[in-house]
């Protein structure tokens, strides 16, 4: 690489991301699993790490079991949190003593000290330093949970990025040479991907959900009311980890998305072959449909895991969204069960996907359908896709030149799939769900009605905006309340507009023959797969 550029050759800036050796692998420790340990997990995930395990006082393991587990892990880095500022220091010191007794060795470079980031009670810093400094490469940053009502993950995230460069990358083969080329610190690939998701939310000024569907992992990102959360399902992927998706989802949940009849053993064997030969690609439309079925379940499972992290702070005293003074701790935990995740699908306005399966889908509508069935959006949602997997690299570039990063992404990478309209509610087959009126820029009026259990696709080219009047019937809701009209803009794309009247929550027919019939009907209505192939399937089982 020639740097800086000279005449007509060379470059002015070189950026890179890394997932070498499985990426940044961390162990996280805190006091209460659902409070400070969960906050520490969010910080590590937000920094682009894979969290190998979360150690907490209340995790059900004996002290000797924790020590054995920590020794066995061999992480790249440890994040230790616990306690609010001014609170009890005994328990967090105890966690530090467990870490000291275990003395875990780093995964790479046994000759260097394992980096440990302490982000707990500031009153315990002196004791932590006495216990851990010298044995580990200790870094002390601001408390992740200075109070129960406040979470401050940024100092820990920033420190993790710096240590990733100074310690982890410095001991990886060939990285000393690579680091001389880079003008910006090397970043874990998921961290760069997350930065680009945040830039999408900033540019469009709305709540965004994103997925990075990889061969070994599934990353889910949410930017909701300005709060960024990343989760990684390190055992759910489309090649190396495809059998874990089968195990976690259950073979029946994968097979429910297939419009043809196959034995469970046949599907299992196909997925095992994919795991053994992870670089192979589908050779038939049947194999493609099977991979799309797995992708739906990987996203669904990843999003379910994500929602356990994207929730109000455990331990914060709240009532109806406000701080609740004088609440007992039992009241706080009881309320938390009611609150659950703060992500409301009706308020998510953009869903963005990246990863080989989505980017290389033969028809873009297949990607849009996989994202729809995986996330189950409600209301009116725009759907995006990264076409060439440049999100991580542009995410790093956005730290230096956000305008250039967005312009490259917008011009060369971002595929605007279109707009999904999905009324919330359930009904009976044939029941009227929605009437809509779309006024095109040229003044043309398009009117459509849709019944429960149907899907429709309306062509609307990329770059075209239209005014839509949506009138849900009865108890069906598009964001303004049951039966209330919604006036909104709908945006075109390579797919256009999809109206999804299958209901929310989405329940497929229990009867196998009826389920397959409906899948074929939906695929045909959306032109998701070649008509002759769908006709052939229909002929085989009718």
Residue 45 has pLDDT above 60, yes or no: yes
Mean pLDDT of 422-429: 95
Residue 368 has pLDDT above 90, yes or no: yes
pLDDT tens digits along 155-165: 999 999 888 87
Question: Chain-wide mean pLDDT for the chain?
Answer: 90
Give the phi and the psi of residue 171 in degrees, each rounded to 5: -105, 5
Tell me what pLDDT residue 320 has: 43
Tell me what pLDDT residue 109 has: 65
Is position 274 within any domain? no
Is position 79 within any domain? yes
* Cβ count near 308 (within 10 Å): 13
pLDDT tens digits along 493-536: 999 999 999 999 999 999 999 999 999 999 999 999 999 999 99
Is position 49 within any domain? yes
Is position 371 within any domain? no
Cis-peptide, bond into residue 505, ω within 30° of zero? yes
- How is residue 537 annotated by DSSP? H
By CB atoms closer than 10 A (0-12, 13-18, 19+), residue 10 is exposed
Tell me what pLDDT residue 24 has: 86
Is position 40 within any domain? yes
Strand partners, 466: 490
By CB atoms closer than 10 A (0-12, 13-18, 19+), residue 280 is exposed
Residue 60 has pLDDT above 90, yes or no: yes
For residue 175, the enclosing domain spans 17-181
pLDDT tens digits along 468-499: 999 999 999 999 999 999 999 999 999 999 99
How far, in Å, CA of 501 to CA of 453, rounded? 5
In the sheet that holds 25-30, the strands lie side by side as 50-56, 25-30, 77-80, 115-118, 137-140
3-state class of 216 per DSSP?
coil
Tell me what pLDDT residue 316 has: 66
Is position 237 within any domain? no
Residue 433 has pLDDT above 80, yes or no: yes
Is position 129 within any domain? yes
Q: Specify the CATH number for the domain of residue 40.
A: 3.40.50.2300
How far, in Å, CA of 537 to CA of 493, rounded? 29
Q: What angle do CA 104, 110, 113 make, to 5 degrees?
A: 65
How far, in Å, CA of 113 to CA of 135, rounded? 7
Tell me what pLDDT residue 175 has: 79
Following DSSP, what letter does each residue of 412-442 receive, concatenated?
IIEEEEEEEEE-BB---TT-EEEEEEEE-TT
pLDDT tens digits along 378-418: 999 999 999 888 899 999 999 999 999 999 999 999 999 99
**Domain tally, the chain:** 1
Residue 334 has pLDDT above 50, yes or no: no
Beta strands in 355-482, from DSSP E residues, in sequence order: 379-386, 414-422, 432-439, 445-451, 455-458, 465-472
Percentage of residues in the chain having pLDDT higher than 70 = 94
Is position 171 within any domain? yes
Tell me what pLDDT residue 110 has: 67
Instruction: Report pTM.
Output: 0.87
Residue 4 has pLDDT above 80, yes or no: no
- How is residue 446 annotated by DSSP? E
Q: Which helix (H) or strand (E) holds 294?
A: helix 285-309
Mean pLDDT of 286-302: 97
Residue 322 has pLDDT above 60, yes or no: no
Residue 339: pLDDT band with limits 50, 70, 90:
low
CA distances from 393 to 6, 15, 16 (A): 23, 7, 6
Q: Can you say whether the dihedral through the CA atoms of 31, 33, 39, 44 is positive or negative?
A: positive
How far, in Å, CA of 534 to CA of 231, rounded? 36
């Amino acid at each position: 690489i020639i740097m800086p550029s000279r005449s007509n050759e060379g470059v002015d800036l070189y950026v890179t991301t890394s997932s070498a050796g499985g990426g940044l692998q961390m162990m996280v420790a805190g006091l209460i699993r659902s409070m400070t340990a969960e906050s520490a997990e969010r910080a590590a995930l937000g920094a682009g790490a894979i969290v190998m395990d979360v150690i907490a006082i209340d995790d059900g393991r004996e002290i000797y079991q924790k020590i054995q587990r920590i020794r066995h892990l061999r992480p790249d880095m440890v994040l230790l949190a616990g306690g609010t500022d001014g609170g009890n220091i005994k328990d967090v010191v105890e966690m530090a003593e467990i870490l000291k007794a275990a003395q875990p060795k780093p995964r790479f470079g046994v000759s260097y000290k394992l980096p440990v980031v302490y982000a707990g009670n500031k009153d315990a810093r002196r004791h932590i330093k006495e216990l851990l400094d010298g044995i580990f490469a200790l870094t002390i940053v601001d408390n992740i949970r200075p109070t129960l009502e406040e979470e401050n993950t940024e100092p820990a995230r920033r420190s993790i990025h710096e240590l990733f460069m100074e310690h982890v990358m410095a001991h990886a083969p060939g990285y000393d040479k690579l680091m001389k080329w880079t003008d910006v610190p090397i970043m874990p690939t998921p961290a760069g991907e997350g930065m680009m998701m945040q830039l999408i939310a900033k540019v469009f000024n709305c709540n965004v959900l994103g997925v990075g569907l990889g061969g070994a992992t599934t990353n889910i990102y949410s930017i909701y009311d300005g709060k960024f959360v990343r989760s990684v399902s390190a055992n759910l992927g489309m090649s190396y980890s495809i059998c874990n998706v089968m195990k976690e989802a259950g073979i029946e949940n994968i097979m429910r998305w297939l419009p043809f009849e196959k034995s469970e053993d046949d599907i299992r064997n196909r997925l095992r072959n994919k795991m053994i030969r992870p670089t192979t690609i589908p050779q038939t439309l049947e194999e493609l449909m099977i991979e799309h079925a797995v992708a739906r379940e990987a996203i669904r499972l990843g999003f379910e895991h994500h929602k356990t992290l994207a929730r109000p702070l455990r331990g914060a005293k709240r009532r109806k969204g406000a701080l609740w003074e004088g609440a007992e701790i039992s009241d706080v935990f009881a309320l938390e069960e009611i609150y659950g995740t703060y992500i409301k699908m009706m308020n998510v306005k953009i869903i963005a996907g990246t990863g080989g399966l989505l980017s290389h889908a033969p028809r873009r509508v297949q990607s849009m359908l996989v994202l729809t069935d995986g996330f189950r959006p409600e209301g009116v949602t725009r759907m995006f896709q990264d076409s060439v997997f440049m999100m991580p690299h542009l995410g790093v570039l956005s730290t230096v030149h956000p305008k250039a990063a967005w312009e490259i992404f917008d011009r060369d990478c971002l595929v605007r799939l279109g707009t999904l309209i999905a009324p919330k509610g359930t009904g009976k087959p044939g029941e009227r769900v929605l009437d809509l009126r779309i006024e095109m820029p040229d003044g043309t009026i398009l009117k459509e009605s849709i019944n429960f259990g149907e899907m429709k696709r309306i062509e609307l080219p990329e770059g075209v905006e239209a005014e839509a009047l949506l009138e849900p019937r009865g108890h069906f809701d598009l964001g303004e309340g049951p039966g209330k009209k919604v006036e909104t803009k709908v945006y075109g794309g390579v797919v256009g507009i999809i109206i999804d009247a299958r209901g929310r929550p989405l329940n497929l027919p229990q009867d196998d023959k009826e389920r397959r019939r409906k899948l074929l009907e939906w695929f045909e209505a959306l032109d998701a797969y070649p008509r002759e192939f769908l006709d052939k399937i229909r002929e085989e089982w009718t």
